């Protein structure tokens, strides 16, 4: 049944709001089992800490609750994922750090931990900004969530096609999923995160430090 294909069943949440001329953008993970009262407390605390206007709270509530409702709508649904090893791509700018990387991820491993992987990656690349790791983990979870949710749609179509029609193969609009076979040539097939040593020069991580921009 549907769930995030990771050790912790956490939902990636992305909030982008503009209230009374003030812009708030953030990305984080949320436990779908937490009560809505936790969301209210989080929104109020965020507004207070950042001195945001009072009408920011209901808009943040609506954004988070809407994303959680979408996630919960998939729960209990059957999944069908043809490719267990899928390519993921990181292309982020966090403050003054730009990081680009791509690797294969074993979505059949329900003990995988995006947060731990992000911490290890930052340690390996000597990234000291504490906001980069969480951003990487959210990006990974967003891509895994897309694959998992699309697999529910595939399973629904397959069930509908059982009578007199051939079941559809797994398909996705995601370029990451469609490129799985091509990228598989450059990687091994064991473990949750794979980067084949002799091909590191093709898909090695890239980290840049950029200067502050006016108004950035």
CB of 51 closer than 8 Å to CB of 24: no
25-32-49 Cα angle (round to 5):
35
pLDDT at 213: 63
The whole-angstrom separation of Cα 42 and Cα 85 is 36
pLDDT, tens only, 165-177: 544 444 344 444 4
The string of DSSP codes covering 148-193 is HHHHHHHHHHHHHTTTTSPPPPP--S-HHHHTHHHHHTTS-SSSSE
Is the pLDDT reported for residue 70 higher than 50? Answer: yes
CB of 181 closer than 8 Å to CB of 111: no
Give the bridge partners for 99, in sequence order.
92, 207
Is the pLDDT reported for residue 191 higher than 50? Answer: no
Task: Write the CB contacts of 111 (distance below 8 Å, at least 6 apart in sequence).
Answer: 7, 192
Helices and strands (H and E) in the chain: how many: 6, 6
Q: What are phi and psi of 114, to 5 degrees?
A: -60, -35
The string of DSSP codes covering 84-145 is SEEEEEEEEEETTEEEEEEEEEETT-TT--HHHHHHHHHHHTT---TTHHHHHHHHHHHHHH
CB of 154 closer than 8 Å to CB of 161: no
- Closest C-alpha among 94, 22, 30, 21 to residue 63: 30
What's this model's pTM, rounded to 2 decimal places? 0.77
Q: Which H or E run contains 206? A: strand 206-209
pLDDT, tens only, 108-160: 888 999 999 999 999 999 999 999 999 999 999 999 999 999 888 777 777 67
């Amino acid at each position: 049944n549907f769930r995030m294909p990771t050790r912790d069943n956490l939902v990636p949440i992305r909030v982008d709001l503009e209230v009374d001329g003030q812009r708030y953008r953030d990305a984080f993970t949320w436990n779908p089992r937490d009560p809505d009262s936790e969301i209210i407390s989080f929104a109020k605390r965020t507004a207070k800490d950042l001195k945001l206007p009072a009408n920011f709270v209901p808009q943040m509530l609506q954004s988070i609750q809407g994303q959680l409702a979408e996630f919960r709508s998939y729960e209990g649904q059957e999944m069908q994922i043809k490719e267990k090893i899928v390519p993921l791509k990181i292309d982020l700018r966090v403050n003054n750090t730009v990081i680009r990387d791509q690797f294969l991820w074993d979505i059949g491993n329900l003990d995988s931990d995006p947060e731990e992987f992000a911490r290890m990656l930052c340690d390996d690349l000597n990234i000291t900004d504490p906001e980069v790791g969480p951003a990487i983990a959210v990006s990974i979870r967003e891509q895994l969530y897309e694959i998992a949710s699309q697999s529910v749609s595939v399973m629904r179509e397959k069930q509908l096609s059982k009578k007199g029609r051939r079941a559809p193969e797994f398909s996705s609009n995601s370029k990451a999923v469609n490129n799985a076979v091509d990228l598989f040539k450059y990687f091994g097939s064991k473990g949750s995160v794979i980067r084949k040593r002799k091909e590191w020069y093709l898909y090695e991580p890239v980290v840049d430090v950029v200067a502050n921009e006016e108004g950035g």
